Amino acid sequence: MIFDQPASITNRVLERDAVDAATFRAEIASGDAPVLLRGQVAHWHAVETAKRGNRAIAEYLVGFRGGKPLEVLIGPPEIGGRFFYRDDMRGFNFQRQHVPLGNLVGELLRLAEQQAETPHAIYANAAAAPEHLPGWQEANPLDLAPPDAVPRLWIGNATKVATHFDASPNLAVCVSGRRRFTLFPPEQVANLYLGPLDNTLAGPPNSMVDPDAPDLDRYPRFAEALAHAQFADLDPGDALYIPAIWWHHVRAFDRLNVLVNYWWAYDDSATPLLAFLHALMSVRDLPSEQKRAWRAWFDHFVFSEDASDAASHLPDHARGVMGPASHERTEKMRRFLLMTLSGRG
């Protein structure tokens, strides 16, 4: 590869050549491990343009202006491109601004051509293409993700996105610049030392540990997480499939980087993270004997392999919220929870 392997991580993500949509659904998206697809979108006009240099991809991006301004994270040079909490945990080490596409790309190009050793860190995150870069999806189509999966662009310079997870499957496509993903299996959550659940950088909680420079004196269990970590280095045209709930840290290496990602199969009003927060409120601090009792409930009705059959001793019409998943069941549960949590139940 064109950059060094992480010294503390020896496991590479499984790699494959580009695949068609049917193969992706049957062999990759149905699995529970990340997969790197080399050259999956090498044919994209955007990728071919990026090969001609920063100015070429900058001019190409500006051609999609006309949409809404993008949310841009801006950090001072001293953060080293790592968007994170301030040292005192009383805020973040960056600011957010809404910036027109042309202004964003122009500033990134200026900094790239200026070749400042430690420029400001600039990063537009998760900009939905239909809203912010109209025409992108038609110019650079991808049939691997479901049709309703919206392409979202991440545009910036050499930056780091702290280790986090997505509640849905994720397909990340490298367009310009080089990216390194460091990934951790879901069961490593206890070894990642999570930050605040209710004060996050961008939605999901983050690990407090920097995988590029881990402080193992302060976070000793992270050594176990590193033993299970995998890494994937993406060049322009490569795509990385990340299953839901896999933790990932993302580092962009170059002066003008562009990545597109797709999320799907996700309802943010029904994410398990909300159930987890409710459990923190209602279960965690109960007496130990009550917690053991409720653990039996969760094991039987939620986590066991045959949980969907837990009410099979009842007639179909009497199973209620224990019955099969359906839109009607979801809406009934949602109404009940809203009424209960609001004190109107």
Report the sign of the C-alpha dihedral through residues 4, 8, 14, 19, in that order. negative
- Asked whether residue 116 carries a pLDDT value surpassing 90, the answer given is no
Residue 1, pLDDT score: 43
Mean pLDDT of the chain: 93
- Asked whether residue 6 carries a pLDDT value surpassing 60, the answer given is no
- Does the pTM surpass 0.75? The reply is yes
172: nearest Cα among 219, 116, 221, 234 = 234
Q: How many whole angstroms separate alpha carbon 74 and alpha carbon 241?
A: 28
Confidence of residue 266 (pLDDT cuts 50, 70, 90): low
Distances (CA, A) of 269 to 105, 167, 327, 338: 34, 12, 13, 11
Residue 267, pLDDT score: 66
% of the chain beyond a pLDDT of 90? 81
More confident residue, 202 or 141: 141
- Asked whether residue 173 carries a pLDDT value surpassing 70, the answer given is yes
Confidence of residue 2 (pLDDT cuts 50, 70, 90): very low
- Asked whether residue 182 carries a pLDDT value surpassing 90, the answer given is yes
Mean pLDDT confidence for 174-194: 97
> Which secondary-structure segment (H or E) carries 102?
helix 101-114
- Asked whether residue 238 carries a pLDDT value surpassing 70, the answer given is yes
More confident residue, 24 or 345: 24
Mean pLDDT confidence for 259-278: 83
Residue 192, pLDDT score: 98
Residue 330, pLDDT score: 87
Confidence of residue 7 (pLDDT cuts 50, 70, 90): low
Mean pLDDT confidence for 104-132: 93
Mean pLDDT confidence for 262-284: 83
Record the tokens describing residue 256, joined without a space. Answer: 């003008």
Among 7-16, 96-105, 160-169, 170-179, where is mean pLDDT lowest? Answer: 7-16
Structural domains for the chain: 14-263 (2.60.120.650), 272-341 (no CATH)
Residue 245, pLDDT score: 95
